Amino acid sequence: MMTDIALMQLTRRKGRTSLTILGVAIGILLVTSLSSISEGIGSIVNSELSLLSGRITITSGGIDFQSFPLSELDESLIDDIGGMSGIEKVTGIIVGNAPNVGPIYAIHMTDLELFNLDVDAKEGRFPEEGEDEIALGYKYADSSTLKVGDQVGIRGKKYDVVGIITATGTEADTAVITSFEPAQEMLKMKDKVTVIIAKPYNADEAESLAGEIENQYPDVSALSAKDAAREAQKFTGQLSIMTFALGSISALIAGIGIMNVMFMSVRERRKEIGVMKALGATTNEILLQVIFEAVTITLIGEAIGLLLSLVAISALNTISTQISAIITPSLLLSVTLFAIGLGVFSGLLPAREAAKTQPAVVLRYE
């Protein structure tokens, strides 16, 4: 019965109801789309952290997890840290952006095993050390017109595209990949690296060795995998809250619209509500009926907003190599609970007004 009454009221003023639902849908679209970008970033971060299990990540001093691409270390530090007791192997990573090309990643191809990463060439091969060659992450290749055999000009120098790399689940999927010397030329980082990764003989000693590295080299920051995970969780948590809050502003504005519509609906239906109470409907039943109608509006708006979000996210992932957006089950649950909460919030005051209706007064004067 409650559902039948709700549907009847929603179809009574179709234009007004449609505009209200559209407002909710736009709000949910913003909440879901912004939060899906945050979820995508979090997924990439977690994938990269899983590759660093038992490793030590070294950056310039004062550089936190969010700003690690700003780090710049002397390449000679790789050998210095490699000579420390307890360190089995060390390598460097170069990260940056080259003009007209975009993200650049560089690593010694012989050190891939240091990341527990099983990577192969989808087409062609890996760039050879020191050669003017590049490979493309698979997402980068999909979104560009480049293919194996092409040449790319960077800072006045030509580089051969020799391969397309299979998915790694990291940001390298959206980048140009090369070896150290070409990357240092492209990014004007002669004898510099962005990050150094050290593998201890004993993974349990990673935290203590990170402390030793910071003591021995005061100008660097050294994080064990546990430290990096804590930093990452803090960063992704802040990002999730910020993006959800930004999208929620629009949804809350839509909630005010729902409240206004429900107030008008209650006032238009005073006689009906009076009759219902006269026939035995309790105050709580009237209260629940109006709130149910408001929640129905938000859930319909949520369904439309989610469909629009799927289209928007699919388009974003197709167009952009820099952003990867995903909708997770936890995000869907959060959005649904938010929509229900928005409906309850929007319908509560109108419901209280409806519940206060006095049958005798209404039926006498209306």
pLDDT tens for each residue of 288-331: 777 888 888 888 888 998 999 888 888 877 776 556 777 888 88
Q: Are residues 350 and 331 in the same domain?
A: yes
Q: Are residues 351 and 251 in the same domain?
A: yes
Q: Are residues 123 and 215 in the same domain?
A: yes
Residue 363 has pLDDT above 60, yes or no: no
Please compute the mean of the pLDDT values over residues 334-358 and round it to a whole number.
Answer: 78
Residue 233 has pLDDT above 70, yes or no: no
DSSP assignment of 92-104 equals EEEEEEETTTEEE
29 to each of 33, 40, 248, how far by Cα in Å?
6, 16, 10
122 burial level (CB within 10 Å; 0-12, 13-18, 19+):
middle
Q: Are residues 208 and 260 in the same domain?
A: no
Residue 343 has pLDDT above 80, yes or no: yes
Residue 66 has pLDDT above 80, yes or no: no
Q: Which candidate, 328, 320, 316, 346, places its Cα nearest to that of 244?
A: 328
pLDDT reported for residue 274: 63
* Count of alpha carbons within 13 angstroms of residue 303, beta-carbon side: 5
Q: Check: CB of residue 92 under 8 Å from CB of residue 191.
A: no
pLDDT tier at 365, thresholds 50, 70, 90: very low
Residue 279 has pLDDT above 70, yes or no: no
Query: What 3-state DSSP class applies to 224?
Result: strand
What phi and psi, each to the nearest 5 degrees, are found at residue 261?
Answer: -65, -40
> Regarding predicted confidence, which is higher, 206 or 270?
206
Q: Are residues 62 and 193 in the same domain?
A: yes
DSSP assignment of 266-282 equals HHHTHHHHHHHHHTT--
> Regarding predicted confidence, which is higher, 171 or 281?
171
Q: List the structure tokens of 158.
A: 């030509």
Residue 48 has pLDDT above 70, yes or no: no
Residue 53 and residue 66: Cα distance in Å, rounded?
19
Q: Are residues 72 and 161 in the same domain?
A: yes
Range of the domain at 218: 49-225
Please compute the mean of the pLDDT values over residues 30-42 and round it to a whole number.
Answer: 77
pLDDT reported for residue 362: 46
Q: Are residues 215 and 293 in the same domain?
A: no
End position of a domain, from candidates 193, 225, 257 = 225
pLDDT reported for residue 319: 72
What phi and psi, each to the nearest 5 degrees, are found at residue 147?
Answer: -145, 170
Q: Give the total number of structural domains in the chain.
A: 2
End position of a domain, from candidates 225, 257, 283 = 225
pLDDT reported for residue 326: 79
Q: Are residues 295 and 329 in the same domain?
A: yes
Residue 164 and residue 13: Cα distance in Å, rounded?
57
pLDDT tier at 2, thresholds 50, 70, 90: low
pLDDT reported for residue 207: 78
* Count of alpha carbons within 13 angstroms of residue 59, beta-carbon side: 17
Average pLDDT, the chain: 77
* pLDDT single digits (tens) 173-197: 888 888 888 888 888 888 888 888 8
End position of a domain, from candidates 190, 225, 260 = 225
* pLDDT single digits (tens) 241-269: 777 777 677 777 777 877 777 777 767 66
Q: Are residues 60 and 209 in the same domain?
A: yes
Give the H or E element holding residue 192.
strand 192-193
Please compute the mean of the pLDDT values over residues 208-218 and round it to a whole number.
Answer: 84
Residue 60 has pLDDT above 50, yes or no: yes
Please compute the mean of the pLDDT values over residues 42-51 and round it to a whole number.
Answer: 62
Q: Are residues 271 and 164 in the same domain?
A: no
249 burial level (CB within 10 Å; 0-12, 13-18, 19+):
exposed
pTM summary value: 0.57
Distance of CA 192 to the CA centre of its chain: 31
Please compute the mean of the pLDDT values over residues 85-114 and round it to a whole number.
Answer: 82
Residue 150 has pLDDT above 50, yes or no: yes
Q: Check: CB of residue 297 under 8 Å from CB of residue 20.
A: yes
Q: Are residues 277 and 359 in the same domain?
A: yes
